[in-house]
Amino acid sequence: MRMRAVLAAGVVGFMTSAAVATPVANQVNTFQGGATAGWTNGGGAADPSVLSTGGPAGAADAFLRVNATGAGGPGSHLVAYNQATQWTGNFSTAGVNAISMDLKNFSTSPLSMRISLRETGSTWYVSNPAVTLPADNSWHTVTFPLTTAALTATNGATPLATGLTRINEFRILHNPSPDYRGAVISASFGVDNVRAVPEPAGAPLAAAVLAPLLARRRRAHRHAAV
């Protein structure tokens, strides 16, 4: 029996092919063309592969399966990373403030799923806390916010606001600890519909409307205090 569950706030988007430029709001990896779209685990037998069926939509819905051998060396960590231009560059200018995806645990124990991003100054930002992905043979929609409240900086101290303008690697991983490295484990998970979630459509308009009102309130408050 296949069922869908939402572990965090999901985002409804278009099921289009992925954009090829530096982050574009709503770009998405669906893996329908059979290519891995730049996702890798360092090469070798454990490198991610695309399965042509069994994704969240069922038959004929392709997805990426990420594996780890747990035996040491390349492919021993449960992680997939991407350094292609699609998932690097200036996330702030693109208006991307979260990453959503569908995940499925093919292992026998729950996984602690996180994303991680590295900026050009070598600071890593790791989602914290992790999202627990149950071993229930089901797909789950997960959203990872790109905010200071949701990301922990490691291996450096570059402010997130700066780092998000110069990302050079993006990772999806399992690790019980907030670490950019995937845990060494013999396990596997599926991922599909990796999407760059934009800011809410009304946010810029709301900010533009509220700013003058707040300014007038501050001026009125100062005059009242005189």
Reported as a single tens digit per residue, the pLDDT across 155-191 is: 999 999 999 999 999 999 999 999 999 999 999 999 9
Mean pLDDT of the chain: 85
- Where b means 16+ CB within 10 Å and e means fewer, 79-109 reads bbbbbbebbbbebbebbbbbbbbbbbbebee
56 cis-preceded (ω within 30 degrees of 0)? no
How far apart, in whole angstroms, are the C-alpha atoms of residue 82 and residue 129? 22
Q: Is the pLDDT of residue 210 over 70?
A: no
- Pick the closest to residue 11 from 196, 213, 216 (CA basis): 196
Beta carbons within 10 angstroms of residue 126's beta carbon = 24
Please give the tally of structural domains in the chain: 1
Q: What is the mean pLDDT of residues 84-113?
A: 97
CATH code: domain of residue 36: 2.60.120.260
pLDDT of residue 21: 55
**Angle (CA) 208 213 217, round 5°:** 150
Domain ranges, residue 151? 4-225
Structure-model confidence comparison of residues 43 and 140, the more confident one? 140
**Which amino acid makes up residue 128?**
N
Q: Is the pLDDT of residue 208 over 50?
A: no
Which are the contacts of 54, defined by CB distance < 8 A and separation ≥ 6?
Answer: 61, 63, 190
Share of the chain above pLDDT 90, in %: 73
Structure-model confidence comparison of residues 66 and 72, the more confident one? 66
